[in-house]
Amino acid sequence: MIMKFRFSPARGTKILLLALLVAALPFAAAAAGIPEFDLTIRNHRFEPAILKVPANTKFKVRVTNRDSTPSEFESNDFNREKIVLPGNSITVFIGPLKPGKYKFFDDFHQDTGQGVLVVE
């Protein structure tokens, strides 16, 4: 007995959506497992000024600007640069990094906006 398969646009759309969902699952699981850390900019200073993060692991840092002026999260040590507008947050993906100390700063307020990632 030969079975005929009838293709319909609705069925094709469902199959395509299912295939995309299955393909995206590993990426969603990987993103969910990334450690997340918070930094706050207040009075043109990073809080905490020293942030401990895991070595050899990709992680994300959420930077929230509580000041009324723009700030910047920048590092020459791990090559990142992002502006943080007043009252807003950004997410920065970093790593994996080897154990050590990595400086970051606020380029707009270099006299006060200094911090260090301690990678252990």
CATH number at residue 46: 2.60.40.420
Question: Residue 96 in 3-state DSSP?
Answer: coil
Question: Containing domain of residue 87, as a range?
Answer: 36-119
Distance CA 5, CA 30 (A): 37
| DSSP E strand stretches across the chain | 36-42, 45-47, 50-53, 59-65, 71-75, 80-84, 89-94, 100-105, 114-119
63 within domain boundaries: yes
- Name which of 6-10, 66-70, 110-114 the model is least confident about: 6-10
Average pLDDT over the chain reads 86
Q: Residue 33 has what pLDDT?
A: 87
Query: Residue 115 falls within a domain, yes or no?
Result: yes
Is position 57 within any domain? yes
How confident is the model over 94-110, as a mean pLDDT?
97
User: Considering the domain boundaries, does residue 23 fall inside one?
Assistant: no
pLDDT score for 62: 98
Residue 21 lies in a domain: no
Instruction: Please give the tally of structural domains in the chain.
Output: 1
Predicted pLDDT at 6: 63
| Predicted confidence (pLDDT) at residue 93 exceeds the cutoff of 60 | yes
Reported as a single tens digit per residue, the pLDDT across 13-62 is 565 445 555 565 555 545 568 999 999 999 999 999 999 999 999 999 99
In a domain, 109, yes or no: yes
Q: Percent of the chain at pLDDT above 90?
A: 72
Q: Name the pairing type of β-strands 50-53 and 114-119.
A: parallel
Mean predicted confidence (pLDDT) in 107-117: 96
Report if residue 102 sits inside a domain: yes
Helix (H) or strand (E) holding 16: helix 9-32
Q: What is the mean pLDDT of residues 74-91?
A: 97
Residue 29 lies in a domain: no
